[in-house]
Structure 1
Amino acid sequence: METTKQGMGQNLCVCVYVCRYGKVFKTHILGTPIIVSTDPAVNKVVLQNHGNIFIPAYPKSIREIFGEYSILQTNGTLQKKVHALIGGFLRSPQFKTRITKDIEHHVKLTLTSWKDRPLLLIQEETQKFTFKVLVKALLSLDPSDDLDFLKREFDEFIKGLICLPIKLPGTRLYKSLKAKERIFKLVKKIVEQRKLGLEKSEDQEHQNTIPNDAVDVLLRDISGEQNDKQSLSLDFIISHIIELMIPGEETVPMSMTLAVKFLSDCPVALELLTEENMKLKRQKTDSGDDYCWTDYMSLQFTQNVINETLRVANIINAVWRKALKDVEIKGILIPEGWCVLTSFSSVHMDEENYENPYEFDPWRWEKTGASVKNNCFTPFGGGQRLCPGLELSRLEISIFLHHLVTTYRWIAEKDDIIYFPTVKLKKKLPIRVTSIGNSP
C-alpha cells in the first residue's frame, strides 16, 4: 500500500538509530545535544511531569515567531489555568451544540461549490472552511473583510514556523514576523472592543451567561479576578488566540485531506464508512430531526477511521522538552539542561505497539488492546498539555466525512505525502467528484 512506503520513509532515520542504540538514544540536532525517546513509557513520564521537571524547549525560530506570551513558553499554574479555561469551554456540550451548526453550514457551502467543477484540491478546499470555523469559535468573527485579511496574513505567518533563525529583511522569518504584527493589530482591535463591551455590561448578568467564544472566556477571567496575580493581560490573551488558530490552518484540514487519501486507497473501508453514514442520513431524513454533535460522534467506524488517520499521518510527530534537573527514567539519565524529543510517530509506527503498523487499518481499533487512551496513541500530545481542542477536531472531521460521503463519490489522483517541514500532500490531493443524490 502507498501509505506503507511513505510511512517507512518518514521513520527510516529514527529506525536506524533505534536498531543501533535502543528506543532511547542521545544525538545532536543543529549542534545541540538531545535525547530522542521512542519509548511510550518514557514519553508518558516526560509529558506528565510538565512544569516541575520538564518544560517546553523549541528551536529559536519558533520561540521568536511566537513571542514571550507563547502557549509553548507558558508554564506552571498559569499554563494549567489557561488550559483549563479553554479546554473546559471547548468541551462543553453548549459549545459543541452551537459549533456543530457552524461546521455543518461551512461544510455544506463548500460541498455545494464543488458541483460542476472538474477537479478539486482537497487540501485547499478543507483549509477554506476549517479556518473560518475555528476563528468563529475563538473570536466570533463571521465572513468579512477582516476575516479575509486574517486568512491571508495567517497564511504568510505560518510559513515561518520552521525556518532558519535569520531575521533580515526578505528572509522567511522576517516576513512571518511582519505578518504576525499585522495579525496582532487586528486581533487586538477586536479584543479591546470586546473588553469595552464587557466593562459596560452588568457584571452579574454577564457572568451568568454562556461564553460566546474563547475571547469571552479569557476576558471574563480578567474582569472576575482583578487582584489575582495570575490574571491574564491583554497581550497574553491576544497571543494565545493567534496561536490557537493554527489547527484551523494546519492540523485539522490536513487530517481531513489524509482521511480522504487513505480512504481512496482502501475501498473496503470507504464502503463501510459510507454505509454507516448513509444509515444515519436516512434516519435523520425519516425523523425530520436535525443532527446533533452526539450523532456524529456515535459513528463508530467513522471514529475508527479518524483514529487510524491520526496514527498513520503523524501530523504532530513529536514535542520538545527540557529537563530542569537531572532525572532518571527507566534507568536512563537525562542531565539537567538537556532536551528530550518525545517521538510520537515512532511509537505509532512500532510493530511492538501496532500489528502491521505501516498499513492503514481502521479495523485495528475494534480489537482488544487498541485504545485511544493508551500510551501508544498520542496524536494530540499528552499530560497537562494535551490539546484542549481534540474533541472539536474530531467533531469537525466527523461532520466533514459524513457530508462528503453522503453527497459525493470521488476518484483521487495518485499523490505523495511530504513530511518536512510539515505534513503536506505534494499535489494537494486532486480529486474528481460525482454527485450521488440531493444537494447537501
Structure 2
Amino acid sequence: MYMVRDGKSGFYIINSSFHVLWHVINFFWYVFMYSPANLSLFRSPENLYSPSGFMDYWIAGFLVLTAGVLLLSWLWFRLTNSKTRNEDKQEESEKKKGMIPKGSLGWPVIGETLTFIACGYSSRPVSFMDKRKSLYGKVFKTNIIGTPIIISTDAEVNKVVLQNHGNTFVPAYPKSITELLGENSILSINGAHQKRLHTLISAFLRSPHLKERITRDIEASVALTLASWSQLPLVHVQDEIKKMTFEILVKLLMSISPGEDLDILKLEFQEFIKGLICIPIKFPGTRLYKSLKGLTFELTMQAKERLIKIVKKVVEERQEATTESTNCPANDAVDVLLRDVNDGGCSDKQSHPLDFVSGKIVEMMIPGEETMPTAMTLAVKFLSDNPVALAKLVEENMEMKRRKLESGKEYGWSDYMSLSFTQNVINETLRMANIINGVWRKALKDVEIKGYLIPKGWCVLASFISVHMDEDIYENPYQFDPWRWDRINGTANSNICFTPFGGGQRLCPGLELSKLEISIFLHQLVTRFSWTAEKDEIVSFPTVKMKRRLPIRVTPVERTSPISVEDH
C-alpha cells in the first residue's frame, strides 16, 4: 500500500484498497461456491428454484457483500488514520528540522575546517563568522573537524548556553584532549564535584590573606623582570612576560620560588603544553593521522607523567606539614585542595587523594600559562599603536604614584583596581585580544533558545569573539578605544556582551587576580620606562600570539609629570 503524500497518492491508495477488497470478495465467493452445501446446489440446478435453496444462495451472497463492505470500511479507516498519524509525525519532524539553524556543512568529511583555519590565520579571524552570519543569521550550523556543530554569535544565546551547565549542556572538547587530561579533569567534570572545586578556589583567590600577599609577590616579580629589560638591547615582550607570569602562577599554586625546581617544572610543562596544542586534526581513515597522533600522544603523556611526578613530590611534602598547621590560612592552591581532601571533600573516588591534588594543580596551570602573558603582551602592542591612550594611562598612574610617595603607604589590591582608565585599557585589550574566543558545549537533550533548536548530541560553539567584534554592540569594534568603557559600564547588556573570562558556573575564578596582575605590570611599566615597538602582527590560530613575539626597546625614565602624546 502506498503512503506517498503527493496528489496522485490518493488514487494509488484507493486503487490498491479496491484491489485487496476484490481478492477478499473472490475468496469468500470461492468458499461459498465450493463448499459442500453449495456444490450440491449447483449439481442439481432444480434445487436453485426451491425456496430453501434460493434463500441459502442469496443469504450467502449478502454475507459476502457485507463482509466486503465491512472490510473496505476497516481498510479505509486504517488508511486515513495511519495517513493522519504519519502526516503529523512528518509535519512535526519538518517543523523541528526547520528550527535547526540554517547553514552549510561544507565538503564531505572536512566540512568547512580549512576555511575556518584560514580565517584564523588572517588579520580578521572573525570573518568566518561574519560571512555566515550575514547569510544565515546570528546562529548557524557548520562542520568543523568532521563534526556538525552550531555556532552562536548571539550574546543572549551564549548566555543561556553558559548558564545551563551540567543539566543541559556539558563541556565538549576533542577526544584527544580528553584522553590526555582524563575524564575527571577540571575541563570535563560536572555537577556537584565541579561546583565544589570552583567554589573552593574562588574563595581562596578572594581571601584577604591572599590579596595582601599576592600583591607583594606580583610587585616583586614585575619589578625584577622590568629591571632586566633595561639591560637588553631588544626585548621580545611575549617571551619575557611568559617567564614572569609562569613564576607568579607557580608561586600561587605551589609556593615554588625561582630556582632549579622551577626551571625543571617549566621545561616539562612547556613540553606538555606543546603536545596539547599540537595534537593533529583527525581525518578519518588516514594512517598519517593515526601515526602522528600516536607519537604526539605518547610524548605528551610522558611529559605529563614527569610533570605530575614533580608536583606530587611537592604535594607529599606539604601533606606532612599540613597536619601540623591546619589552623593557619592556606598559602596556595595545594594547601586548599589538601585540606579539603583530608576533610573528605573534592577527591574523586577513582584516584588516590595525593594523585587527585597533583592532577588538579597541573590542570590549573594550563589556562594561566597562555592567557595572562598574551593579555599583557597585547596591552603593550595596543598602547604602542595608540599614543593618546598611553598618555592618559601614564597620567593616571603617575598621579597615584605621587599620592603614595607623599603618604608613604604601600600599594594595595584596591589601589590598583581603583585606577579607572587602567581598567578600561585592560577591558579593551581583553575585548580585542579574544584570547578565549569561545567555548564548546554539547547538548544533553533537545534545547530551544530564541526559536533555534540545538538537537541532542550536537555541539554548540558560543563565540565570544563574534560578540566582542559586533559593530551593533561596539561602535568601531576594530578600533582600540578604552574610553568606550566609560559609556558601556552599567548598561543593561554590558555583562552578557563582554565575556573574556567565560560565564556561568565556569566563570574563571581568577578573573580579579588576572586584572590585578595586568594592572601592576602596566603601572610599573608606564611609570618607570618608555619604549619603542617594532612592527608586528597578531596571529589568532591555533592560539592568540604575536607573529614576531613583539620586539621592543626599553629605556628607564624618571617621570615627574605626565608625558605628552609625542613622547611615544
Same fold (TM over 0.5): yes
Taking the aligned partners of 1:227 and 1:30, their CA distance within structure 2 comes to 34
- Classify 1:10/1:379 alpha carbon distance in 2 versus 1 (closer, same or farther; 3 Å): same
Q: Is the 8 A contact 1:167 1:174 kept in 2?
A: no
Question: Greater CA radius of gyration, 1 or 2?
Answer: 2
Taking the aligned partners of 1:369 and 1:353, their CA distance within structure 2 comes to 13
Taking the aligned partners of 2:236 and 2:423, their CA distance within structure 1 comes to 24
Q: Is the 8 A contact 2:121 2:541 kept in 1?
A: no
Cα deviation, 1:64-110, whole Å, max 9, x if unaligned, reads: 22223311111100000000000110122221110011001110001
Amino acid at match of 1:26: K
Amino acid at match of 2:300: S
Corresponding residue of 2:519: 398
- Classify 1:88/1:225 alpha carbon distance in 2 versus 1 (closer, same or farther; 3 Å): same
How far off its partner does 1:6 sit? Answer: 9.1
Matching of residue 208 in structure 1 with residue 327 in structure 2 = yes
Amino acid at match of 2:402: R
Secondary structure at 1:210 match in 2: coil
Q: Is the 8 A contact 2:529 2:555 kept in 1?
A: yes
Secondary structure at 2:382 match in 1: helix
How far off its partner does 1:167 sit? Answer: 7.0
Secondary structure at 1:26 match in 2: strand
Matching of residue 221 in structure 1 with residue 354 in structure 2 = no
Secondary structure at 2:483 match in 1: helix
Choose from 387, 391, 394 the match for 1:271: 391
Taking the aligned partners of 1:271 and 1:232, their CA distance within structure 2 comes to 54
After superposition, the CA RMSD in angstroms is 2.2
Detail structure 1 runs of 4+ shifted over 6 Å in the superposition: 226-232
TM-score, normalization: structure 1?
Answer: 0.93
Moved more, 152-161 or 79-88: 152-161
Corresponding residue of 2:152: 37
Taking the aligned partners of 2:432 and 2:541, their CA distance within structure 1 comes to 15
Q: How does 1:39-438 map to 2 (within 5 A)?
A: 39-162=154-277, 163-164=279-280, 171-199=295-323, 201=324, 206-225=325-344, 233-368=353-488, 374-437=495-558
Amino acid at match of 1:309: T
Matching of residue 10 in structure 1 with residue 125 in structure 2 = yes
Secondary structure at 1:10 match in 2: coil
- Classify 1:233/1:325 alpha carbon distance in 2 versus 1 (closer, same or farther; 3 Å): farther
Amino acid at match of 1:153: E
- Classify 1:278/1:369 alpha carbon distance in 2 versus 1 (closer, same or farther; 3 Å): closer
Taking the aligned partners of 1:388 and 1:285, their CA distance within structure 2 comes to 33
Taking the aligned partners of 1:229 and 1:415, their CA distance within structure 2 comes to 46
How far off its partner does 1:233 sit? Answer: 3.0
Taking the aligned partners of 1:121 and 1:226, their CA distance within structure 2 comes to 44
Taking the aligned partners of 2:463 and 2:405, their CA distance within structure 1 comes to 45
Cα deviation, 1:194-232, whole Å, max 9, x if unaligned, reads: 112223x2xxxx443211111101111112237998899
Q: Is the 8 A contact 1:297 1:303 kept in 2?
A: yes
Amino acid at match of 2:449: I
TM-score, normalization: structure 2?
Answer: 0.72
Taking the aligned partners of 1:339 and 1:292, their CA distance within structure 2 comes to 43
How far off its partner does 1:281 sit? Answer: 1.1
Q: Is the 8 A contact 2:438 2:462 kept in 1?
A: yes
Cα deviation, 1:343-386, whole Å, max 9, x if unaligned, reads: 00000000111111111110000014566951000000000000
Q: Is the 8 A contact 2:197 2:346 kept in 1?
A: no
Taking the aligned partners of 1:307 and 1:7, their CA distance within structure 2 comes to 23
Q: Is the 8 A contact 1:69 1:235 kept in 2?
A: no
- Classify 1:94/1:17 alpha carbon distance in 2 versus 1 (closer, same or farther; 3 Å): same
Taking the aligned partners of 1:228 and 1:125, their CA distance within structure 2 comes to 36
Q: Give me the identity figure in percent.
A: 62
Amino acid at match of 1:211: A
Q: Is the 8 A contact 1:57 1:321 kept in 2?
A: yes
- Classify 1:25/1:275 alpha carbon distance in 2 versus 1 (closer, same or farther; 3 Å): same
- Classify 1:269/1:219 alpha carbon distance in 2 versus 1 (closer, same or farther; 3 Å): same
Amino acid at match of 2:423: Q
- Classify 1:82/1:262 alpha carbon distance in 2 versus 1 (closer, same or farther; 3 Å): same
Taking the aligned partners of 1:320 and 1:237, their CA distance within structure 2 comes to 26
Moved more, 263-272 or 236-245: 236-245
- Classify 1:177/1:168 alpha carbon distance in 2 versus 1 (closer, same or farther; 3 Å): farther
Q: Which has the higher helix share?
A: 2
Cα deviation, 1:261-320, whole Å, max 9, x if unaligned, reads: 000000000000011111111111122111111111111100000000000000000110
- Classify 1:69/1:226 alpha carbon distance in 2 versus 1 (closer, same or farther; 3 Å): closer
Secondary structure at 2:523 match in 1: helix
- Classify 1:420/1:6 alpha carbon distance in 2 versus 1 (closer, same or farther; 3 Å): closer
Moved more, 369-378 or 128-137: 369-378
Higher RCO, 1 or 2 (CA under 8 Å, sep at least 6)? 1
Unaligned runs of 5+ in 1: none
How far off its partner does 1:114 sit? Answer: 1.6
Q: Is the 8 A contact 2:308 2:362 kept in 1?
A: yes
Taking the aligned partners of 1:154 and 1:226, their CA distance within structure 2 comes to 27
Taking the aligned partners of 1:35 and 1:12, their CA distance within structure 2 comes to 17
Q: Is the 8 A contact 1:211 1:217 kept in 2?
A: yes
Q: Is the 8 A contact 1:133 1:248 kept in 2?
A: no
Cα deviation, 1:382-433, whole Å, max 9, x if unaligned, reads: 0000001111110000000000001110000010001111001000000011
Taking the aligned partners of 2:309 and 2:404, their CA distance within structure 1 comes to 44
- Classify 1:70/1:168 alpha carbon distance in 2 versus 1 (closer, same or farther; 3 Å): farther
Taking the aligned partners of 2:163 and 2:275, their CA distance within structure 1 comes to 29
- Classify 1:16/1:333 alpha carbon distance in 2 versus 1 (closer, same or farther; 3 Å): same
